[in-house]
Structure 1
Amino acid sequence: MRARITVSALLGLLALGYLVTHLVFFVQLFFDHSGVAITQDEIASAHTATDARPQLIPKIIHQVYHDWNAEQNGGNETMPTDWDEVRHTCIDKNEDWTYMLWTASTSREFIQRYYPWFLSTYDNYKLPIQRVDSVRYFLMLHYGGIYIDLDNGCLENLTPLLYYPTWTTDGGRGALSNNILASVPNHPFWKLLTDSLIPYNYNYFFPYVTISYASGQWFETAIWQKYHSQHPEERLHRIMMDDRPGTQPWIYFTQERGGTWKNWDNAFFLWIGDHLALLALVVVSGLALLWWSVRRCLSVHKKYSEISTGKIDIEHGE
């Protein structure tokens, strides 16, 4: 009996350590991020017509449109009218750029041709949005350029954004965003990120968590933090895109209709994203309660051991 309790207590401590480690890592995804935060206003102010800095990022705009119902529609991949209008704001503002629209078929062909080691994972993603998430990372690695979600339009020419070798976007309210990304080709950050897709490919039961942590924003944030810990001398840029009142205005992009990957649990996790302080309080309280419970169990076990070995006389309370 004593051995069983000792093993149980040890397993409890190991489980607690594992839980605390992963919870701390997970909670960190939603607070301070590595790299350099820069506003769109600061980018615009740094750019002039005679800017002598080298333009590092190639003038390529990537957008991905996968019609998940195309098979039922006879293979038709016609884009919704509002998204077609929004994407043309980026085309029209950047006339001398190369524009690349990636459909479900061309995305798969790209993965098959250049990254065949990933094709099986790509084909077998449980949720279609995960293919849209993952292909954008490989596009950044292979071609470089700027990736823009179809629900983001352009207000200005994007040339001032080409002077920063690799950047992501930060909505200022939790994990980083992957709706707009940019890079030079073959940057090591995207190599680390694409190499990490298979190890992170788990089904976390909740669709929102599976999407976010296996291939989406939480995943991107985790790898962003990992990259900066491995390369402390390098600080990549985070372009701030907080759309809440009182924050810096957006100069280069717009936000239009989104919500293409809504599932039954989206509202719950989006609520959590807007109440991170409350979440932190709940997590800390839960860990404190768990620690108290483990300590209590160990105390009871110690007293039981002392009674069983005769160190405490139950009748006389000694």
Structure 2
Amino acid sequence: MGALRRKTALFGFLLVVSSVTVLKLTDMNRRVIQTMQTFSPSTQSAPEIILFVELNMSVFQTTYSVVAEDFLAPTDAIRPLIPHIIHQTFETVMIPSKLESHIRTVVNMNANWTYHFWTDNAGRNLVKERHPNLLPIWDKYKRNIMRADALRYVVLYEFGGAYLDLDVVAYRSFNRITYKYGCIIPPEPIEHSALLYNMTVLLNNAIMFCQAKHPIMRALLNGLEGTMNHKDVMYATGPIFLTSNFKSYVKECLLNKSVIINNDNSGTTVSYVSGEAYIHDIHVANVAFFNDEIDYNSQEKKFHTTCKNVSDSSDIVRQACGHFLNKAVKRQISPLAFTGHKWVHLWLRSKAEIQKKLNKNISEILSGKTITIF
């Protein structure tokens, strides 16, 4: 075993002993991980798990597939792993009118869920009470969007549930997705990750579902100090921050636990073994379920420019361009989608511009509904 470890270290790979799951590098991208055989807990006692994966752990697979079957859910589950609480945030309780219909879809489709609305002041009070070590970071942020990003990680860590940006719409109830995984973090469309950032996978923090006290949310809170001075929101608190910290979290899991990374048509799941139980930890869902609407509003020109000549581009850019051009004529939302992101980008607009459009209190928008405003 010692010789084996020395050999794998020489090649920069991690080999954790196992006999049931093999991860290989795919033709599309040699860093892509694919599970070739799914672990079955019912046939193993004190199982040893094999992982063969690059240490830099950069990408997963099956996040952009077309889905033909509904989101996987256990048939015998009694209690949800993810609590039925919806969290949304804004600077104040006054909401731009163009977001009214979006918010109503979320609440109407999930009438049996608790609804929590957090203002900036309430968010600061929560940070001060529960995470006082983060308060200097919170106060130092120069852009309000950074506080908004940080707040979503805090409320999910403290209470669990679903966090949704105000420009997210719900197409159906979230109940089904809360019984199998401890945390669900959908990626952005491949056009965003590849064509805008040259990344294979970019996780999106506009739509997240998680149980309370989940270690990935704790990892995100711990990571805020290291990026607090970054001027780019994407890197300081946003999707690139989320993706980077997620990779670090998975690396640590690989080093300290028996872990399986399993790919199927619904996405990629990081799971671990606890005793004889097979625990589903984090699910990076297929975009078709949550986030398969691209940002035409501000990025369409860049998409077309990048895809005019891709002969010298990377495999992932060529794949993204093929995906973009094939779907550009008629981009249809899957009937199995739970949410869609409309990419309003309020954070890119000036405060004066936003204030001109504030005309309804959230309590008025959701009149007749039971909501809690913090």
TM-score bracket for the superposition, by shorter chain length: 0.5 to 0.7
- Judge conservation of contact 2:205–2:239 (CA < 8 Å) in 1: yes
- 2:174 pairs with 1:158: yes
Contact 2:145/2:233 (<8 A) preserved: yes
SS, match of residue 198 in structure 1: helix
- Quote the residue 1:197 is aligned against: 224
Between structures 1 and 2, the one with greater helix share: 1
Alignment equivalent of 1:177, drawn from 204, 221, 235: 204
Which of 168, 186, 193 does residue 213 from structure 2 map onto? Answer: 186
Q: Structure 1 residues 197, 105: closer, same or farther in 2, change over 3 A?
A: same
C-alpha distance in 2 between matches for 1:225 and 1:36: 17
**Partner residue of 2:59?**
33
Q: Which residue of 1 aligns with 2:342?
A: 256
TM-score of the superposed pair, with normalisation by structure 2: 0.54
CA separation of 1:146/1:51 partners in 2, compared to 1, >3 Å: closer, same or farther?
same
Q: Which one is further off, 35-44 or 183-192?
A: 35-44
CA contact (8 A) 2:292 2:340 kept: no
Q: Measure the CA separation in 2 of the matches of 1:40 and 1:92.
A: 27
Match of 1:238 among 267, 278, 284: 284
SS at match of 1:199: helix
1:223 and 2:257 matched: no
Describe the SS at the equivalent of 1:123: helix
- Code of the residue aligned with 2:87 in structure 1: it is H
Q: Following TM superposition, by how much is the alpha carbon of 1:80 offset from its aligned partner in structure 2, in angstroms?
A: 1.2
Q: Any residues of structure 2 matched to 1:45-56 within 5 Å, and which?
A: 45-47=71-73, 51-52=76-77, 54-56=79-81
The structure-2 alpha-carbon separation of the partners of 1:45 and 1:260, relative to structure 1 and needing over 3 Å to count, comes to: closer
Distance 1:186-1:45 versus aligned 2 partners, 3 A rule: closer
**Residue 59 (str. 1) matches residue 84 (str. 2):** yes
Given that 2:91 and 2:120 are in contact with CA atoms closer than 8 Å, whether structure 1 keeps it comes out as yes
Structure 2: distance between partners of 1:225 and 1:189: 10
Distance 1:35 1:140 in 2: 26
Which residue of the other structure, out of 120, 138, 145, is the alignment partner of 1:122?
138
Following the alignment from structure 2 to structure 1, what is the Cα–Cα distance between the partners of residues 77 and 153? Answer: 29
AA partner of residue 183 (structure 1): C
Q: What is the CA-CA distance between 1:182 and the residue it aligns to?
A: 1.0
For structure 2, the 5+ residue unaligned runs are 1-56, 194-201, 261-269, 271-281, 294-323, 351-374
Pairwise CA RMSD of aligned residues? 2.8
1:185-226 Cα deviation digits (max 9, x unpaired): 11111111101101111234xxxxx20111111100000110
The structure-2 alpha-carbon separation of the partners of 1:230 and 1:111, relative to structure 1 and needing over 3 Å to count, comes to same
Q: Distance in 2 between matches of 1:128 and 1:93?
A: 29
Instruction: Kindly indicate whether residue 171 of structure 2 is the aligned counterpart of residue 149 of structure 1.
Output: no
State the alpha-carbon separation in 1 of the partners of residues 79 and 292 from structure 2.
28
- Structure 1 unmatched runs, 5+: 1-30, 68-76, 205-209, 265-318
User: What is the letter of the counterpart of residue 183 of structure 2?
Assistant: T
Q: Distance in 1 between matches of 2:60 and 2:78?
A: 24
The answer as to whether partners of 2:58 and 2:247 remain within 8 angstroms in 1 is no
Residue matched to 1:316 = none
Task: Report the counterpart of residue 312 of structure 1 in structure 2.
Answer: none
Query: How far does residue 58 in structure 1 lie from its aligned partner after superposition?
Result: 0.3
Residue type at the aligned position of 1:123: D
* Aligned equivalent of 1:98, options 114, 130, 134: 114
CA distance in 2, matches of 1:129, 1:112: 18
Deviates more, 1:253-262 or 1:211-220: 253-262
Cα displacement string for residues 22-65 of structure 1 (whole angstroms, at most 9, x for unaligned residues): xxxxxxxxx953487487957735348x5537521000000111
Per the alignment, do residues 47 and 237 of structure 1 end up closer, same or farther by CA in structure 2, a change over 3 Å counting? closer
Q: Percent identity?
A: 24
- Equivalent residue for 2:184? 167
Please report how far the alpha carbon of residue 247 of structure 1 lies from its aligned counterpart in structure 2 after TM superposition.
7.8
Ranges of 4+ aligned residues in structure 1 off by more than 6 Å: none
What SS does structure 2 have at the residue aligned with 1:112? Answer: helix
Give the Å deviation of 1:105. Answer: 1.4
Answer yes or no: is the 8 Å Cα contact 1:57–1:144 preserved in 2: yes
SS in 2 for 1:46: coil
Aligned-pair CA distance for 1:88: 1.3
Q: Which has the larger radius of gyration?
A: 1
**Count of aligned pairs between the two proteins:** 220
Aligned CA distance change for structure 1 residues 155 and 242 (closer, same or farther; 3 Å): closer
The CA deviation at 1:141 is 0.8
TM-score, structure 1 length as denominator?
0.63
Give 1 or 2: higher strand fraction. Answer: 2
